[in-house]
């Protein structure tokens, strides 16, 4: 995955979200690019990237494929996952559909397990209103432990606030405590055992708890990606894990 | 297991509440991500002309499942 920074000082941001949440509309509104928006799978085939300047700073926004999950069921999901894990975005914007939050928060929670630098944009608020749905944004933010911004991307509403929050996250002005899913005692014990061993190899380059969860899930693709993006070729992570 | 029936046996228009997902691995993960989780309500919307797959309404989205998949999802008919 190539990141085309206009300058080395560019602040890299990831834009994630389910399909049909208006993610590309937000991308276009923020960057001024005319990325084609439309409703079909795989539309964001490769990562679109665009620049914007806010509060005098250059940002590079990377539009990830629209997915319901990032647990690598498909190439799209693996692209999204790998960018969030290894592309080192300084903040991730998760775009959600206000008319169907229950489905959309699955992805937000998955991303919050990997990184705490997350802002949730609740988009399509106008459609939600038409359907009689009102979203309590401040309560949602309190429950998730990350900022939540309401947006209507088609009308450019909420976007300045979104950019302000993104900058606050990047500048570490906010204390984020993303909600973490707790698993059953047996699983938590295995997570802790694995995390301790993983941390010695990963050394803070990626969230060890999350990697432990993926290993318990039987996900082999994460091992390949870690070897590819994070570790020197002298380290055989697969071999290490097999020896535990 | 008394009132648990496979999702595939529900007629068009019927609703079922998910009780058990007898699938493992990636397909299980996929189903969970699509909202097929215990207690979620699934409505049968329509069946393709060939009789398979079937379109289900799951948490606000229309999702097509093959019979082979829907056979392994057990629901309580509502």
Chain B residues in contact with A220 (beta carbon < 8 A): none
Interface of B with A in 25-54 (CB under 8 A): 25-26, 29-30, 33-35
pLDDT at A36: 57
CA distance, residue A68 to nearest chain B CA (Å): 6
**pLDDT top residue among A103 and A108:** A108
Of the candidates B77, B59, B29, the one whose C-alpha atom is nearest the C-alpha of residue A73 is B29
Q: Does B13 touch chain A (CB under 8 A)?
A: no
Spell out which residues of chain A touch residue B33, defining contact as CB-CB under 8 Å.
68-69, 71, 73, 106
| Pairwise pLDDT comparison (A105 vs A75), residue with the higher score | A105
Report ipTM (2 d.p.).
0.80
Chain B residues near residue A73 by CB distance under 8 angstroms:
26, 29-30, 33
Tell me what pLDDT residue A43 has. Answer: 47
Chain A residues within 8 A of B34 when measuring between CB atoms: 68
Helices (H), chain A: 23-31, 75-86, 101-114, 125-130, 137-144, 159-170, 185-202, 208-216, 221-229, 237-243
Where are the domains positioned within chain B? Answer: 4-77
Handedness of CA A219, A225, A228, A234 (dihedral sign): negative
Spell out the domains of chain A, with CATH numbers in brackets: 11-170 (3.40.50.300), 185-243 (no CATH)
pTM of the model: 0.89
Is A71 within 8 Å of chain B by CB?
yes
Q: How confident is the model at residue A41 (pLDDT cuts 50, 70, 90)?
A: very low
- Given a contact cutoff of 8 angstroms between Cβ atoms, the answer to whether B54 and B46 are in contact is yes
Q: How far is B6 from chain A (nearest CA, A)?
A: 23
Is B64's Cβ below 8 Å from some Cβ in A? no
Provide, as residue numbers in chain A, all residues whose Cβ is less than 8 Å from the Cβ of B60. 99-100, 102-103
Does residue A176 sit in helix, strand or coil?
coil
Residue of chain B minimizing CA distance to A99: B60
Q: Contact A103/B60, CB-based, under 8 Å?
A: yes
**Over chain B, what is the mean pLDDT?**
93
Mutation target among A106, A108, A127, A133 for the B interface, most CBs of B within 10 A: A106
pLDDT higher than 60, residue B31: yes
Above 50 in pLDDT, residue B32? Answer: yes
pLDDT band at A35 (very low <50, low <70, confident <90, very high): low
| Partners of A16 in beta bridges | A94
* Residue labelled with tokens 């085939």: A45
Instruction: Give the residue ranges of DSSP H helices in chain B.
Output: 25-33, 67-70
Cβ A219 vs Cβ A244: under 8 Å: no
Of A68, A99, A100, the CB nearest to B33: A68
Does the domain at residues B4-77 carry the CATH identifier 2.30.30.90?
yes
B59 contacts in chain A (CB < 8 Å): 100, 102-103
Tokens representing A213 are 């969860």
């Amino acid at each position: 995955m190539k990141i085309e920074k206009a300058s080395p000082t560019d602040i890299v941001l990831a834009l994630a979200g389910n399909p049909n949440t208006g993610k590309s509309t937000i991308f276009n509104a923020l960057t001024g690019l005319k990325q084609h928006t439309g409703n079909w799978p795989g539309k964001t085939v490769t990562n679109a990237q665009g620049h914007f300047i806010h509060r005098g700073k250059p940002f590079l926004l990377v539009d990830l494929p629209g997915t319901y999950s990032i647990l690598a069921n498909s190439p799209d999901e693996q692209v999204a996952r790998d960018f969030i894990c290894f592309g080192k975005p300084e903040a991730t914007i998760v775009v959600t559909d206000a008319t169907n939050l229950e489905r959309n928060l699955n992805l937000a929670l998955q991303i919050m397990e990997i990184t705490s630098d997350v802002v949730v944009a609740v988009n399509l608020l106008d459609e939600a209103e038409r359907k009689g749905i009102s979203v309590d944004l401040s309560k949602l933010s309190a429950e998730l432990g990350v900022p939540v911004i309401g947006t209507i991307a088609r009308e450019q509403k909420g976007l300045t606030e979104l950019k302000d929050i993104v900058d606050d996250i990047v500048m570490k002005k906010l204390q984020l405590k993303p909600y973490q899913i707790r698993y059953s005692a047996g699983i938590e014990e295995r997570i802790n055992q694995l995390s301790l061993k993983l941390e010695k190899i990963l050394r803070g380059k990626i969230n060890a708890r999350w990697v432990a969860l993926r290993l318990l899930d039987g996900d082999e693709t994460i091992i390949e990606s870690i070897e590819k993006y994070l570790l020197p070729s002298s380290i055989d992570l697969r071999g290490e894990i097999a020896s535990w | 297991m008394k009132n648990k029936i496979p999702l595939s046996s529900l007629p068009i228009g019927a609703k079922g509440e998910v009780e058990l997902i007898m699938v493992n691995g990636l397909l299980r993960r996929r189903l969970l991500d699509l909202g097929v989780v215990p207690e979620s309500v699934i409505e049968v919307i329509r069946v393709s002309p060939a009789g398979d797959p079937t379109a289900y309404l799951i948490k606000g989205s229309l999702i097509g499942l093959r019979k082979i998949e829907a056979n392994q999802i057990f629901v309580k008919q509502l």
